[in-house]
């Protein structure tokens, strides 16, 4: 698990090696966007199921001045498979939450976190038989 705070864009590749590890999180800096406990519970619920299925293996959380980002990795040395972003500036427009793929494509954007996460949570979709 890796926590960082600052103005580094999480969509940029790392300078080399794996992300830094930390066992304690620093308190939020004023004017910093963070995920609430409810939001993190929902994200970690999805993350746990994907880890159990062997699809995801690592994550990083970035709290920036303008947005909070939860990045999901297949391996720590790769670029994130998905980024789950919370950007309060978009609250009145497309929605606070968005899921962005490794290529930078916005998979889904919306006002409700659960609906946005459904776009990458294939296990919640049930196939209807004949």
DSSP track, 51-69: HHTTS--EEEEEE-SS-EE
Q: For residue 70, what are the β-bridge partners?
A: 61, 84
Kindly report, residue by residue over 54-82, the tens digit of the pLDDT: 899 999 999 999 999 999 998 877 789 99
SS3 for 80-125 is: CCEEEEECHHHCCCCCCEEEEECCCCEEEEECCHHHHHCCCCHHHC
pLDDT of residue 91: 87
Residue 103, token pair as written in the block: 């290529």
Distance of CA 34 to the CA centre of its chain: 12
pLDDT of residue 24: 58
Contacts with 76 (C-beta within 8 Å, 6 or more apart), sequence order: 18, 19, 57, 58
pLDDT of residue 52: 92
Low-confidence ranges of the chain (pLDDT < 70): 1-30, 123-130
Q: What are the residue boundaries of the structural domains of the chain, listed by start? A: 2-6+26-120
Q: What predicted TM-score, i.e. pTM, was given to this entire model?
A: 0.71
pLDDT of residue 76: 72
């Amino acid at each position: 698990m890796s926590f960082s705070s600052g103005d580094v864009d999480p969509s940029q590749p790392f300078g080399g090696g794996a992300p830094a590890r930390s066992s304690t999180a620093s308190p939020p800096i004023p004017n910093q966007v963070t995920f609430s406990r409810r939001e993190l519970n929902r994200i970690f619920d999805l993350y746990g199921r994907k880890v159990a299925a062997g699809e995801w293996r690592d994550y990083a959380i970035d709290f920036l001045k303008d947005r909070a980002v939860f990045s999901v990795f297949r391996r720590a040395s790769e670029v994130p498979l998905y980024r789950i972003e919370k950007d309060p500036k978009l609250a009145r427009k497309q929605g606070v939450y968005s899921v962005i793929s490794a290529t930078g494509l916005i998979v889904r954007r919306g006002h409700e976190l659960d609906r946005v996460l459904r776009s990458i949570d294939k296990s919640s979709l049930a196939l209807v038989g004949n």
